[in-house]
Structure 1
């Protein structure tokens, strides 16, 4: 079987993108943990409200995984993935420019909701594509190994 240049690029690019999409869950939680103490001073808010942003992000991540899977089965993976990534980017920009802690916490929920799309859809796409199932398993295992290393 002779692979064209386009097939080789797709064959390499697809598992890499799937592997990167699995990182959205940890990105929602781990990326801003070092600055949690400083956020309390920035927003002039109690530490409990700042810590609630972690909870709202995880809640969005959990609820998103429950709903995004069935939505992708009904409406297709590509459309829902684009919407989820757009929601993630918009919510992240909103978090950056949040005027108060309450707005920040609400936007963290939507950031988690959008990040859940990356997790769910990447795993679904890996299992949907029969020629890439074995490779995708190995590619998806690599980011998970880094994530597990970070939590210990």
Structure 2
């Protein structure tokens, strides 16, 4: 690319290549490409690697990608969610717990006679629970 067309690959180019390699399950090649980059990978490059680790389970690379992503974007919940899902799929519940994510229980709202009532999963404390929620 550089020699033939005089173009220097940028972060977007690497992100596309990592995405293609990752989707194809060529995880080692994707990782090697990241290591060979002439600059530090940004989130655009690391996020497709993390996603590929979910598609083609690879906890080792997932840990690498997630650690780097979290240092770049500590407030991006999506990175934690993907990592947590990778750990959960592998049955590694200790690591899921260490991601610090907590899921709120499911709930439903029903309007009954003009008044809105909230029902939470497995919560039978509402006086109408037995009437409107299956056992």
| Structure with larger RCO (C-alpha < 8 A, sep 6+) | 1
The TM-score, its normalising length taken from structure 2, stands at 0.30
The answer to which structure has the higher helix fraction is 1
The TM-score, its normalising length taken from structure 1, stands at 0.28
